[in-house]
Structure 1
Amino acid sequence: MPLILGFTAASIGVAPPGLLNMTAAKVSAVDGRNRAIIFALGASVTVFFQTYIAVLFAKFIDRNPDIVVLLQEIGVFIFSALTVYFFWAGKKKKRKEEEIRMRSKTSRFFLGMLLAFLNLLPIPYHVVISIWCSRKGWFFFNQSHISLFVLGSVTGSFLMFYLYILFFKKKDVDKPSFLMTNGNYIIGTVTGIISLFTLFKIITS
């Protein structure tokens, strides 16, 4: 069950067009599938550490419910700041992206790690998912369940990267979609809703 939960959560989280999967698709279209797979492997290594840290943090929260209110207050500030940032970023003039051209497979591996490291949203995402699954009785914060959950998350993430590598063509990557054009506004709206919901919970609790 933990393996399936981690796989499903990661697959859902990575499926929408974003920085990592679209970069993997573009690397595949420009420089070939093998180098794109190297990129995806690098990103998956970072996903491993992010998921493991997230689950350990969730374990700490689950065992110390008294800090939940403090975390909610911090969360309101963080998500409000993210909302302002993403709406501000959405208004910035979009620069033309340069073609990704790296010769070394090693550099692609570390590029994948770096871009995944800059994407911090999976950490709170997996914190929420693991706590929710724990309270449903589907997941327990022991070493075997944590290891299987992390393994499932890495596998699900890599599978989504690989599907983008397989099915996106160069014209699809270069043509801006609604999600890619308005991604900052969409994320800003989501973080704004989360901050308002969290503030409402603090006030009514």
Structure 2
Amino acid sequence: MDLALVLIFGFLATFIATLPPGLINITSAKISLNEGHTRGVMFALGACLVIIVQALIATISARYLSNHPDVVGVLRIVAMIIFALLSIYFLFIAKHNEQNKKEDDSRSKTKRFFHGMFLSGINFFPIPFQAYVAMTMASYGFMKFENLDIAAFVISSSFGAFVSLYLYMHFFEKIKDHKIASKKVMNYMIGAITGVVAIYTLISILKDL
């Protein structure tokens, strides 16, 4: 019964956390629309592979992270800088690149897989979130930090993220003829999201000083 709860809560926690518009899910939808569903899925699989590693790190180091907020603070600073640069790129640079050159149709599925790994890898926020979820489950006795429970949590978390990304791809494919699904609008959406995340992270860092 405890193992079933770990699977359910691990899936739901990551699924719900991935539902709000973010860099990974909007990018997966954009790739699916512009380059085909298969490449969107490859991007999502690459992102979820990193989420597996992040969930494993978060679960194993849950207690350590709770006792060492300075480590989380360093990760937040790095993430803020990266998201600020991504915001500048998608708001001011990406649209000009699309106007000045044709879309590169030679992008392979493998490149999109590693693209998903890269974007998921620079997003450090899931680690403290998943650590918090694991610690909360452990505090209620639903989860023990044993190999089987950790494996169940990691697998269910990655599966929850993949289902959320797949739903985004499916949703945008349904509205592909709408203006919101255009390349320009989706670049603005990604740029706005990364900008908001960068500003929010900066504010949280300043509050902790």
Question: TM-score of the superposition, structure 1-length normalised?
Answer: 0.76
Provide the residue aligned with 1:203 in structure 2.
Answer: none
Provide the residue aligned with 1:94 in structure 2.
Answer: 92
AA aligned opposite 1:140 = K
Q: Where in structure 1 are there 5+ consecutive unaligned residues?
A: 200-205
Aligned partners of 2:23 and 2:193 also within 8 Å: no
Alpha-carbon offset, residue 162 of structure 1: 0.6
1:15-30 pair list within 5 angstroms: 15-30=19-34
Aligned partners of 1:21 and 1:161 also within 8 Å: yes
Provide the residue aligned with 2:64 in structure 1.
Answer: 61
1:13-162 pair list within 5 angstroms: 13-58=17-62, 60-61=63-64, 68=67, 71-76=68-73, 79=76, 94-97=92-95, 98=98, 99=103, 101-162=105-166
Aligned partners of 2:83 and 2:197 also within 8 Å: yes
Aligned partners of 2:79 and 2:123 also within 8 Å: no
- For the structure 1 residues 158 and 95, does the alpha-carbon distance in structure 2 shift closer, same or farther, using more than 3 Å as the test? same
SS in 1 for 2:144: coil
Provide the residue aligned with 1:183 in structure 2.
Answer: 193
AA aligned opposite 1:72 = P
When structure 1 is superposed on structure 2, of 131-140 and 73-82 the one drifting more is: 73-82
AA aligned opposite 1:183 = I
AA aligned opposite 1:172 = I
SS in 1 for 2:159: helix
Percent same amino acid at aligned positions? 32
- For the structure 1 residues 41 and 84, does the alpha-carbon distance in structure 2 shift closer, same or farther, using more than 3 Å as the test? closer
Find the aligned partners of 2:40 and 2:85 in 1 and give their Cα distance. Answer: 31
Aligned partners of 1:130 and 1:139 also within 8 Å: yes
Cα RMSD over matched residues?
A: 3.1
AA aligned opposite 1:123 = I
1:77-128 Cα deviation digits (max 9, x unpaired): 6546766876787678622344574442222222222221122221122112
Aligned residue pairs, count: 192
1:55-88 Cα deviation digits (max 9, x unpaired): 1111x528xx7xx1xx134545654676687678
Find the aligned partners of 2:189 and 2:170 in 1 and give their Cα distance. Answer: 20
Alpha-carbon offset, residue 30 of structure 1: 0.9
Find the aligned partners of 1:88 and 1:103 in 2 and give their Cα distance. Answer: 23
SS in 1 for 2:27: helix
Question: TM-score of the superposition, structure 2-length normalised?
Answer: 0.74
